[in-house]
Chain A
Amino acid sequence: MKIVTRKKVVVISIFLSLLLCFVILLSITIGSVRVPFFHSIKIVFQSVLGLRVGGNETEQTIILSLRIPRILLSGLVGAGLSVSGATFQALLRNPLADPYILGVSSGGAVGAIIAILMGLSSPFATPLFSFAGALLTVIAVLYFGKQDGKIHPNTLLLTGVIIGSFLSALIMFFISLSQKEELRTIIFWLMGDFSFSTPQAIFIILPYILLSTFFLYLHSRQLNLILSGEENAVQLGVDVERLKRITYLFASLITAASVSACGLIGFVGLIIPHSVRLVFGTDHRLLIPSAALVGASFLIASDTLARTLLAPIELPVGVITAAFGGPFFIYLLKTRKVIKTL
């Protein structure tokens, strides 16, 4: 009988991990500065294996300090946003839900813009302010969105959307006050930007995204139950209030960490969970790991295109995710029946 078993999840995850490795290697070798394919591969393996890295020093810097941190960060964010989006879709029982729907991203943006306007803009301060702004929003939405101590998905959704709109108004207000140089930084931040990726940023957000994903995965079976309604989940013995609180907090934490590291990257968190669902089914025990791996591959590939397509000009990665992801999603939607029977 075709059901999701541990074995199936492991096999598909290994397969998708191989795909991810392939995308990573490919992305390392592509860039605006040409580094010959085999040089790149050699540099990667030498540094991974802890050997002395030989060859051209410029090539080393490009690969090890520029491309690899950027690839790892975009992979991490892509995985995080996909897991967070899938969780919000289940929690809010709304197919339009994405990681940003509850205003967490706007909170993060306000924080980052405040840092920029205060002249504190740095690879360290901006993410910190952004993370603080995002967390405050998470708490505010939960506080105002609760009714008699309970989370009602629709009330939470409305509260989140309204707080998000309020924060967007603040963002526009700040933009109208800003100077030309600040404006550019702000706009780039709002469109999502990996060009400042540092190894530190990766290490800071890694535990948030990894641990939150782990805890969400522990509840993946319960997420299946709540998808057909809370009453259903109660009938099957789920403590739904606890489940809603936990999933809301961890999914928001992932969003907050992602936004603080690279700004707002749209579309990934909406489309990857849906695409993966169309191919692998609705079961969150399979959906969460596959969405993470596919999301990572997708955002790495998108960012690679963003930095190379019109090189030396860099496109905002959001342009690529929407321009390539959209048509691909429509294609999946149209061929859904075929894919399902595979």
Chain B
Amino acid sequence: MIEAKSICFRYRKEWVIEEVSFRAEKGEFIGLIGPNGSGKTTLLKILYRLLSPQKGEVLYDLTPLRRMKQKEIAKRIAVVAQETYHLFPFRVIEIVLMGRSPYLGQVIFESKKDLEIAERVMEWTKVLSFSERSIDELSGGERKRVFIARALAQEPEVILLDEPTANLDIHHQVDFLDLILTLNRERGLTIVMASHDINIASEFCDRLILLHQGRIYKTGDPHEVITKRNIERVYGCQVLVDQNPISGMPRINLMKKGIQNKSLERD
């Protein structure tokens, strides 16, 4: 269980996260949504202590994160962040094995057990077939799966995802999220996913946290959070909210300005 207790954070003068409190129970799939600059990525970074909040604290199973060693955090919380640039590219197997790092400590070489774990998670994420390829030769979807494999090699209890579906086509988006959902449902992994894609968050997450200017605007299940009123307030643009006819989850529809006006007249 991971819990944020009224955390506040600022890079310089202005607070970018203010009084944010929430709790992710074991096995929950939580979506962080909100417009650009609402603090989603910053909040994720605080959750694995890349950044430390100036006020409040993050607890992991009731232990304050600031009292844990970075290595201990990495054994419990894995991160799949937005793409980084690879100066000297590594191969897939090398990257997945890096996930064993928190367990190795000062040990220089991985053991046979580490290699077995790496192979196993590469099988789950279907990257085993190109494990010898260099990361810069892969497509966006393949790269994402490699980093999920790395995260799984950490044998974590929580996975933090930052915009995991950005730059993926719809096929790969669904593939990727199905994989995450399987890990969540079958292995009990807690997932916290920051996403720009409200519909994806609505479809896959148990609970959503809608951030607005560094504060929690609304939290609850997708039906409570994704309403025309909330979305229009927070994002500042007009949308039509209906339901996915099969899953029954709320769905937003974007409209160009002229159409918006017409629909408003009809209301």
Residues of B within 8 A of A254 (CB): none
Residues of A within 8 A of B72 (CB): 237
Bound CA span A6–B114, Å:
14
Q: How large is the interface on B (under 10, 10 to 19, 20 to 34, 35 or more residues)?
A: 35 or more
Q: Does B75 contact A (CB under 8 A)?
A: yes
Q: Does B98 contact A (CB under 8 A)?
A: yes
Residues of B within 8 A of A27 (CB): none
Q: Does A285 contact B (CB under 8 A)?
A: yes
B74–A221 CB distance below 8 A? no
Which residue, of A95, A218, A224, A277, has the highest number of chain B Cβ atoms within 10 A?
A: A224
By beta carbon, the residue of chain B nearest A240 is: B70
By beta carbon, the residue of chain B nearest A8 is: B109
Q: Does B62 contact A (CB under 8 A)?
A: no
Quote the shortest CB–CB distance from A257 to chain B (angstroms). 24
Task: Give the number of A-B contacts (CB < 8 Å).
Answer: 93
Query: Could you give, for residues 97-137 of chain B, a 1 whenever the CB lies within 8 Å of some chain A CB and a 0 otherwise?
Result: 11101101011111000010001000000000001100000
Supposing A227-B88, A228-B87 touch, asked if A1 and B101 sit within 8 A by C-beta, the answer is: no
A2–B109 CB distance below 8 A? no
Residues of B within 8 A of A199 (CB): none
B132–A2 CB distance below 8 A? yes
Query: Could you give, for residues 237-278 of chain A, a 1 whenever the CB lies within 8 Å of some chain B CB and a 0 otherwise?
Result: 111000000000000000000000000000000000000010
Bound CA span A225–B95, Å:
9
Residues of B within 8 A of A2 (CB): 91, 93, 132
| Of the residues B87, B99, B104, contact of A221 by C-beta under 8 Å | B104
Supposing A234-B70, A285-B108 touch, asked if A93 and B87 sit within 8 A by C-beta, the answer is: yes
Quote the shortest CB–CB distance from A88 to chain B (angstroms). 13
Supposing A224-B98, A235-B81, A282-B89 touch, asked if A6 and B109 sit within 8 A by C-beta, the answer is: yes
Q: Does B79 contact A (CB under 8 A)?
A: yes
Residues of B that sit less than 8 Å from A by CB: 45, 48-50, 69-75, 78-79, 81, 84-91, 93-94, 97-99, 101-102, 104, 106-110, 115, 119, 131-132, 154
Residues of A that sit less than 8 Å from B by CB: 1-6, 93, 95, 217-218, 220-222, 224-225, 227-229, 231-232, 234-239, 277, 281-283, 285
Q: A4-B109, A6-B108, A231-B50 are known; give 11 further A-B pairs, CB within 8 A.
A: A1-B119, A220-B108, A221-B101, A227-B87, A227-B88, A235-B50, A235-B78, A235-B79, A236-B74, A281-B91, A282-B88
27 contacts between A and B (CB under 8 A): A1-B93, A3-B93, A5-B109, A5-B110, A93-B87, A95-B88, A218-B106, A221-B107, A224-B90, A224-B94, A225-B98, A228-B87, A228-B90, A229-B85, A231-B50, A232-B84, A234-B50, A234-B70, A235-B50, A235-B81, A236-B99, A236-B102, A236-B154, A237-B75, A239-B71, A277-B88, A282-B90
